[in-house]
């Protein structure tokens, strides 16, 4: 048995195992209402079409349906991205990408050993779904961050006129669009069906990875346990968020050239290899028979990955 056949067999067996375990566990846990709390089942009974997918995602967050750590990791990513994508579908997408990438690279890069191509295709196919979910989660967090100061100001005005916090949350859900409006709609409905306000707010922090939301949850928790002037605390938090957001936009505008250069330098070698392999298929044949050629290819790809990580770290600034 060749190395290529062995890798293909092992990869297929591992992928099949994950598909089988996650598929069976997903069906078993979700049959008969298992995996959902009493509050979530009552929320589903409302039959609001715009909230059904969000509630399903929250049910997976509060009671994971996957039996494997990888499946729970993907479920957590889908919660943060607000995408109802079970792990078994991600595995199917990964398998499809693996086959497509391997076939494409085999045609465009016939001079590279197939053992290396399948490893590269597997790594890229595994990274792409994670990259997509993380990008959607980041996009959602950024939009939530833009809306958050307005929501806090609305809460402050409601508290100063004597309205309770739960009523302010309901008003935010009606007045502000998604993603913030949807998150506060879920929180207000959870409060209406039995959860206390700090628990409902704290649940938002699990879906929105943002320090400002954590500060807001801590302020609500302290107010719930010890009392105090919540309106003044939230007013100061709103001012800080707006000032930091303005500074972040300035920094982002000043570093746009560096970020473009980082991506250009990272992708240019890969694009050139694919272009030269497509335009002149025999361009690399003169060195493909060298004993150390496969090792050089592996080292090149490893250095490219290190370059991407290093460029990402150099151009990422915390404000």
Q: Where are the domains of the chain?
A: 141-244, 255-319
Q: How confident is the model at residue 28, as a pLDDT?
A: 54
Which of these, 97, 112, 118, 92, lies nearest to 15 by C-alpha position? Answer: 92
pLDDT at 310 over 60: yes
Over range 288-306, report the average pLDDT: 78
Predicted confidence band of residue 317 (pLDDT cuts 50, 70, 90): low
C-beta separation of 22 from 37 below 8 A:
no
Q: How confident is the model at residue 155, as a pLDDT?
A: 92
In angstroms, the Cα distances linking 294 to 7, 111, 196, 279, 304 are 16, 10, 60, 22, 15
- Indicate the range of 16-30, 43-57, 305-319 predicted with least confidence: 43-57
Of these ranges, 75-79, 132-136, 304-308, the one predicted with the greatest mean pLDDT is: 132-136
pLDDT at 38 over 60: no
Q: Which residue has the higher pLDDT, 122 or 31?
A: 122
C-beta separation of 190 from 170 below 8 A:
no
pLDDT at 48 over 50: no
* Other CB atoms within 10 Å distance of the CB of residue 5: 11
Predicted confidence band of residue 36 (pLDDT cuts 50, 70, 90): very low
Is the pTM higher than 0.75? The answer reads no
Instruction: Give CA–CA dist 262/315, Å, rounded.
Output: 8
C-beta separation of 86 from 65 below 8 A:
yes
Q: How confident is the model at residue 34, as a pLDDT?
A: 45
Tell me the percentage of the chain whose pLDDT exceeds 70: 77
Q: Which residue has the higher pLDDT, 316 or 274?
A: 274
Q: How confident is the model at residue 304, as a pLDDT?
A: 79
Structure-block tokens of residue 283: 């361009």
pLDDT tens digits for 121-130? 888 888 899 9
Q: What is residue 290's DSSP assignment?
A: S
- Roughly how many angstroms between the first and final C-alpha of the chain, as a whole number? 54
Q: Which residue has the higher pLDDT, 152 or 46?
A: 152
- CATH no. of 141-244: 1.20.81
Q: How confident is the model at residue 44, as a pLDDT?
A: 47
pLDDT tens digits for 268-286? 887 887 787 777 777 777 7
Over range 40-68, report the average pLDDT: 49
Chain-wide mean pLDDT for the chain? 77
């Amino acid at each position: 048995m060749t190395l290529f056949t062995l890798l293909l067999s092992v990869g297929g067996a591992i992928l099949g195992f994950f598909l089988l375990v996650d598929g069976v566990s997903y069906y078993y846990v979700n049959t008969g209402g298992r995996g959902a709390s009493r509050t979530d089942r009552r929320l589903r009974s409302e039959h609001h079409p715009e909230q059904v997918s969000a509630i399903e995602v929250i049910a997976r967050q509060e009671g994971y349906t996957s039996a494997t750590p990888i499946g729970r990791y993907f479920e957590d990513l889908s919660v943060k991205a607000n995408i109802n994508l079970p792990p078994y579908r991600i595995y199917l997408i990964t398998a499809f990408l693996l086959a497509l990438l391997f076939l494409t690279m085999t045609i465009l890069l016939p001079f590279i050993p197939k053992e290396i191509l399948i490893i590269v295709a597997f790594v890229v196919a595994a990274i792409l779904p994670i990259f997509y979910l993380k990008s959607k989660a980041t996009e959602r967090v950024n939009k939530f961050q833009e809306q958050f100061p307005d929501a806090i100001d609305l809460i402050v005005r409601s508290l100063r006129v004597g309205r309770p916090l739960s009523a302010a949350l309901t008003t935010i859900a009606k007045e502000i669009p998604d993603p913030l409006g949807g998150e506060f709609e879920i929180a207000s409905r959870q409060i209406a069906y039995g959860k206390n306000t700090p628990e409902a707010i704290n649940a938002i922090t699990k879906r929105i990875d943002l320090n400002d939301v954590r500060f807001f949850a801590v302020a609500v928790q302290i107010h719930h346990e010890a009392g105090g002037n919540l309106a003044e605390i939230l007013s100061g938090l709103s001012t800080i968020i707006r000032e930091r957001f303005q500074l972040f936009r300035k920094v982002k505008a000043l570093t746009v050239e560096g970020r473009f250069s980082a991506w250009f330098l990272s992708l240019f070698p890969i694009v050139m290899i694919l272009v030269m392999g497509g335009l002149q298929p025999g361009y690399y044949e003169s060195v493909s028979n060298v004993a150390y050629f496969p090792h050089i290819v592996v080292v090149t790809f490893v250095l490219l990955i290190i370059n991407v990580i290093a460029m990402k770290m150099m151009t990422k600034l915390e404000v």
